[in-house]
Chain A
Amino acid sequence: MTINSNLIFNTVNNGIIILDENLNVLAWNKWLEISTKVKEKEIIGKNLCEYFSYINEKKLKRKAKTVLVTNNPSFLSLSTNNFLLDIPVSNVTNKVFESMQQDITILPYDLEKNHICIYIYDNTQMCEVNKKLEKLNDELIDMSHRDPLTQIFNRRYFAEQSEKIKSYSQRNNNIPFSLITLDIDKFKNINDTYGHMVGDDVIIKVAHIIEEEVRNSDVVARFGGEEFVMLLQDCNLENAYKVAEKARLSIQESCVITHKNKEVKFTVSLGVAQFDESDNNNIENTLSRADAALYKAKDGGRNQTVVSN
């Protein structure tokens, strides 16, 4: 059987370019004529990188040389190059990319004449699907890290981040970091007096206030019920105490309004501890010390901050 290579060249659903070693175009298939709107007769004999000035000539020449020396294919990966030829995508709806996302394979074509061949594959649809999956995946990860009621972080995220912050501290001459545990005072009374809806509003209000009192690099998490933890990076005990007191005073000044337009006031108690060598490299021990300080604050009359000694 005789293979009609010209027919294949002009009907295949990929771009095919044949170039000499100086990157002058020797052949340009029909797919490219349609996709780029550049006719073969217009580009034949011209330098590809001069015609399309955005192409990185140095890189393409390097790839051409590799192909000719090794007699093996070389690739332009989508992870580092979105395209070789800038071809606008034709989607009317749901457009994710402005330009066609291309996988490029460069092959030796005629080693004696130093000719190479470039295949251009349109991978836009796969990239679109990947992009959407990545976005969904990010959303799922974010959801798994957040408390559904307050939208602040949950205990799982706290556990992940606390280990990272601990490692960062240990790599950097034990830069101090501290924990604040916080509990809403007499929360059961709020629930019993005003109902769970108001109780939820109080939890949300406290979450938002303490989130505003910390830096972006810190972590505020709801541990469950009316209990919260603040993880303060690059922060010693003294500064952590100041943050705790500021949060306590802000919460004392705030209120929620019931559907009957009644103002409900509330307070919190806080315990503060700095991660140190007594914790045996375990943040759970720091947390226990902060909790013990929190109970002292409760026992001492509530609406106060106690530092772990």
Chain B
Amino acid sequence: MKDVIELNEDERDCLQELMNIAYGAATAAISEIIGKFATLSIPSIKSISTVNLIEHLNQKLLDKNQYFVVNQLINGHLAGENIFIIDEESSLNLAREFDLEEEECTENEIKDIILEITNILSSVTSGKLAALIDTNISFSAPNITKINSVGEFDKRFTGEYSHVIIISTELNFEEQNIKGDLMILTKKESSVFLKQALNIALENL
């Protein structure tokens, strides 16, 4: 088995289409829950080893001081981890969009809102993707940490995931000045499953 599971152009296009559908479901869910319109950018899909993952994350954490990072484990054929990264200012704006009053905006309540939005984005996008390729997944409870730099990322990354496919998108509530990054990291064996599932989907077109 190769160390890096590469997707060819057709597979990548197919995954991008499936993710667009999944993101549509996620933004519709957010709109129904909080009555605000969010956008998720066109997914960027990369196959990389975890050695390069830190570098990839570094690009996400350039100019702000503090970030909240939420990770949620996905179990099943698409096993891996979804990561949502949001800076402090966006977090506060997000809390306001969830109707938190100023006096309610404590760090724990803000964390709770970030966990909630991650859970919505993560479960709806991964759930929809799983449904589109005819498999089932389950989710573990998300965890949140506050970090100052990419160096504080859990070192288990490199041990746990020797190779990942990253499906990355930006969440934007433009009027509310909220920006976050969602990354879906699939483990090596899940990447093999995903590649096979994409080929079945392509055959059925």
Contact = CB atoms under 8 A, between A and B. Distances in A.
B80 interface: no
A73 B141 CA distance: 9
Interface string B133-149: 00000010111100000
Interface residues of B, number: 21
Contacts of B116: 62-63, 66, 74
Contacts of B123: 70, 72-73
Contacts of B108: 80-81
A69 B33 contact: yes
Interface in A61-77: 62-63, 65-66, 69-70, 72-77
The interface residues of chain A, by DSSP majority, are classed as mixed
Contacts of B33: 62, 65-66, 69
Given A65-B33, A66-B119, A77 B124 contact: no
A79 interface: yes
Nearest to A63: B116
A215 interface: no
A14 interface: no
A70 B143 contact: no
Interface in B96-140: 98-99, 108-109, 111-112, 115-116, 119-120, 123-124, 127, 139
A38 B32 CA distance: 35
Contact of B143 (A62, A76, A79): A79
A176 to B, nearest CB: 23
B113 to A, nearest CB: 9
Contact of A105 (B32, B111, B127, B141): B141
Contacts of B109: 80
B63 to A, nearest CB: 13
A77 B112 contact: yes
A291 interface: no
A74 B119 contact: yes
B29 interface: yes
A103 interface: yes
A77 B142 contact: yes
A59 interface: yes
Interface string B2-40: 000000000000000000000000000100110000000
Interface in A7-59: 58-59
B124 A70 contact: yes
Contact of B98 (A62, A80, A103): A62
Given A62-B116, A63-B116, A66-B116, A72 B124 contact: yes
Nearest to B115: A77
Contacts of B115: 75, 77, 80
A79 B32 contact: no
In this complex, which of A74, A77, A81, A103 has the most chain B Cβ atoms within 10 angstroms of its Cβ? A77
A66 B119 CA distance: 9
A69 B115 CA distance: 16
Nearest to B124: A70
Contact of A70 (B29, B111, B112, B141): B29
Contacts of A105: 141
A76 B144 CA distance: 12
Contact of A77 (B29, B99, B144): B144
Contacts of B127: 70, 72
Contacts of A63: 116
A70 B26 CA distance: 8
A80 B109 CA distance: 7
Interface string A102-134: 010100000000000000000000000000000
Contacts of B111: 79-80
A75 B141 CA distance: 6
25 contacts: A58-B99, A62-B98, A62-B116, A63-B116, A65-B33, A69-B29, A70-B29, A70-B120, A70-B123, A72-B123, A73-B139, A74-B116, A75-B119, A75-B141, A76-B112, A77-B115, A77-B141, A77-B144, A79-B144, A80-B108, A80-B109, A80-B112, A80-B115, A80-B144, A81-B108
Interface of A: 58-59, 62-63, 65-66, 69-70, 72-77, 79-81, 103, 105
